[in-house]
Structure 1
Amino acid sequence: MERYHRGSIAVQERVGVRAAAEHVGRSIGPGIKDIAAAFLARQPHLVVGAADTAGRMWASLLTGPPGFARAAGPARMEVAGGVPEGDPLAAALAAGGIPVGTIALDPRTRRRMRLNGTARAVPGGFAVEAERVFSNCPKYLQKRQPLRTVPDGPGVLRRAHALDARQERAVRGADTFFAATVHAEGADASHRGGMPGFVEVLSPSELRWPDYPGNSMFLTLGNLAADPRAGLLFPHWESGALLQLSGRARTVYEPGGGRSVLFRIEEAVESLHPGRLLWSAPEFSPANPAPPPHRGRTTR
């Protein structure tokens, strides 16, 4: 199994972490180990990243009682219930046969597990034939406690091609989002965290965030080097609201070795789904840097 594709390797070499990436990459395997299966079975939500039937990338949040996402053998995850009605990935996951990236993140313990593979349609939900399974360190994860589940909700609230003023404020106040990216061999879902303000709103249709030092894999940036399509998910933990964005992104390499990502919004979906889980206010990660100073609009 190849741990990295050419896009990730190119970024690793540019940043000078190729040896470190090879070391960390030994944690990537094709199967679901017992400890990973036990972790997955305890989680009440799962992030799924994939392309919709039109080829747009999205990240979606699935919620259910612990065990709704479970290992069904050493190389298969089954997810009961599927995605909520109206979700941008509903049709694609119902059909199956598409590359997907998933991340199970536990805010209670600051642990996370990623499982990438191919989605298969099954009665009452979908399955993922696992191809790459691995965990990440707790860096930039905010700690939260689950409070209660809200059984009702209106579903999709707004579809648009840019953010409105209220959504801009929500993005500026976010301490966490998830990114779905893709390359020729598969899809991936990743986590980004920081202090509120770490994501800048440059305009109603353009965002920017810093790429903080991580595990040296550069899976997300490597995917973007190969394919600019991306989907972002901003969960509002206290209300259960979701803001999903689909568009294109590119990495900016800055003087002094820093990096940031510019994201252009093409579609936006805001939802308040039934069955959503509400969480406590965060205990911020001690690894979070101070948010970057506002740098204004980009030159296009």
Structure 2
Amino acid sequence: MDARSILQLPIAHRRTFIAFLIALCAVIVLCDIFLFPPDSRLSGYAQALASAVIVSLIMYWIVISFIPSQQNTQTLQQVEPKDITAEFEALLSEATRWRYTGNFGRYLRGKVLPTLAIKPNMQISVSIIDPQDELLCNSHAEYRNKINSIDKGRHFDATIVALEVIVTIIHCAWYVTNKNVSIELFLLSMFDPLRIDSSDSAMILTVEDRRRPALKITNEHFMYNHFDLQMRFERQQGRELPLQKFSHCTSISAITEADVREFLTSINMQDLCEKLTPGKIAEACREVRNPYED
């Protein structure tokens, strides 16, 4: 193993390597003192070997003192498209809190909520676009129609965008009422092509275009705090929705038109409910799935 390979080892492995050298040096010295006759050839070999080990340790300490930390290469990672799903699985498996800022929240409702709802004391924060802002929904629809999204040719308009957001809102409300999950939901007055999914240990930044890689940032990197602060300010500037008034029902597939109408009326979205129709909203809620599972 060359010097570069040793320096690129994880810290735990490097510590083990150093401990091995120290133990080897100690064994050689003890053998020289108690086993080898003074001024013998074996004693000379032992002293030379011990000296070489000591010099190696000193040189290692000098070299490592002048080499920049490798932390940034480990805490800021580009994730290729084929690896994004696995990175999300790993992040979800250890999450105790989750924060999301995005637009529709389809992956949130199709994967994140079902995965995290079974964990005790789970706290989730969701920031998505305001479905009552028709100009915002139309702008986002135009953006969606220009990119290589997961929808494979589906044409978006303001109505479809509003429907997608409403479905996410209803899913969040269902989990609050029926799974006792703590969810804060905020509506934003602007959309951002960049989506952020964050736990306490790391965050993953993605875009809708499936050809683009993602960016994973651990909480040891300074950019984690910057993006976390951005998400916090977005929540403060957004409009929080109460989610506690959804009906009790056994499953999302059991959501009815009456459930939809009653809840959307309770959060002052009855006009949008009538425009989209309770039947279409309920059907979209029941048919929801993870958009990235194919």
**TM-score over 0.5 for the pair:** no
The TM-score, its normalising length taken from structure 1, stands at 0.21
Alignment TM-score, normalising by the size of structure 2: 0.21
Which of the two has greater helix per residue?
Answer: 2
Q: Which has the higher strand share?
A: 1
